[in-house]
């Protein structure tokens, strides 16, 4: 990365958010680098442990809704990982409220390369209430994604397993294995070689949207894991083109339905506009 740097030096630098990979901030020292990938070090870039004020979408005594930027984990993968969303939210709340509170209750996650809305619980009661809503599939979760090819609207149902036989998560035809995953897909706009789609989650399995769309022949732009067997040209994208755009749930104590929206981030908007501009007249 720079002359005389040890691996520990490089790892610390990457985790601060000062390294750009393929045009997007990368905070994972173990991130895969492909031949030809552009890497840039920006020493003046702000540390990724400083969450922008506007990223706290909603705060009260029981719940917090945050707008996660792409490139950071929702929670630490291990004890050494720093700058994760839950850590940043706690710091932001401490600055805002002039006091340090208890750890946040984690009730769901979105992938590191995915951007968008995440809810945390601030009390044990709120955590249990939100977890029950997730188990009952009553949480409203709407994602926006850019997918390869011409996607058709429909509902995707499959049973997901941790290893489909090639070391990757995927679907199985065995009704006694895996867990049922259901994603409602609606094609929103045809693009040059791609489609803008919305995905409404009925269940929330690990990598559910990524796996199911890839298995239908339409991997997400920026996908680098679930693309085995895809024969078409891969459109370039700086990261996984997936955004958690809407989140809705019943407040744990007030019983009121809360709904939140997050606009597409700049990197997705840029790719979207580029693909629109390449459409034939």
Examine the domain organization and report whether 20 and 143 are in the same domain. Answer: no
Calpha distance 201→213 (Å, rounded): 13
Tokens of 275: 């693909």
The mean pLDDT value for 128-154 works out to 97
Same domain assignment for residues 2 and 64: no
Q: Are residues 107 and 144 in the same domain?
A: yes
Active site residue 37: no
Same domain, 42 and 59: no
Q: Out of 28, 49, 60, 111, which one is annotated catalytic?
A: 111
Q: What is the phi/psi pair of residue 275, to 5°?
A: -70, -35
Q: Which of 31, 48, 65 is the last residue of a domain?
A: 48
Q: How confident is the model at residue 169, as a pLDDT?
A: 94
Shared domain for 13 and 83, answered yes or no, is no
Query: Can you give the pTM of this predicted structure?
Result: 0.82
- Say which CATH number the domain at 90 has: 3.30.2350.10
Domain boundary among 48, 67, 83: 48
Number of domains into which the chain is organized: 2
Domain containing 15: what range? 1-48
Q: Do residues 175 and 157 share a domain? A: yes
Confidence of residue 110 (pLDDT cuts 50, 70, 90): very high
The bridge status of strand 242-250 relative to strand 115-121 is parallel
Q: How confident is the model at residue 7 (pLDDT cuts 50, 70, 90)?
A: low
Mark whether 247 and 170 lie in a shared domain.
Answer: yes
């Amino acid at each position: 990365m720079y002359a005389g740097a040890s691996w520990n030096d490089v790892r610390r630098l990457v985790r601060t958010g000062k390294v750009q990979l393929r045009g997007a901030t990368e905070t994972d020292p173990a991130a895969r680098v492909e031949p030809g990938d552009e890497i840039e070090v920006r020493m003046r870039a702000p540390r990724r442990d400083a969450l922008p004020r506007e990223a706290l979408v909603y705060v009260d005594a029981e719940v917090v809704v945050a707008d996660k930027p792409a490139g950071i984990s929702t929670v630490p993968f291990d004890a050494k990982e720093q700058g994760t969303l839950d850590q940043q939210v706690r710091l932001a709340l401490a600055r805002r409220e002039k006091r340090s509170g208890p750890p946040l209750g984690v009730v769901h996650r979105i992938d590191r390369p995915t951007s968008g809305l995440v809810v945390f619980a601030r009390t044990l009661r709120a955590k249990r209430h939100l977890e029950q809503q997730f188990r009952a599939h009553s949480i409203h979760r709407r994602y926006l994604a850019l997918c390869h090819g011409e996607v058709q609207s429909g509902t995707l149902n499959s049973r997901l397993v941790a290893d489909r036989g090639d070391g990757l998560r995927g679907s199985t035809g065995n009704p006694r294995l895996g867990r049922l995953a259901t994603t409602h897909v609606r094609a929103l706009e045809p693009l040059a070689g791609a489609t803008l789609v919305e995905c409404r989650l009925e269940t929330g399995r690990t990598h559910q949207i990524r796996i199911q769309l890839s298995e239908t022949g339409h991997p997400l732009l920026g996908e680098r894991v679930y693309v085995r067997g895809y024969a078409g040209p891969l459109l370039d994208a700086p990261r996984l083109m997936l955004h958690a755009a809407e989140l809705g749930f019943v407040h744990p104590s007030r019983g009121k339905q809360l709904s939140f929206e997050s606009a597409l981030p700049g990197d997705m908007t840029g790719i979207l506009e580029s693909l629109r501009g390449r459409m034939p007249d």
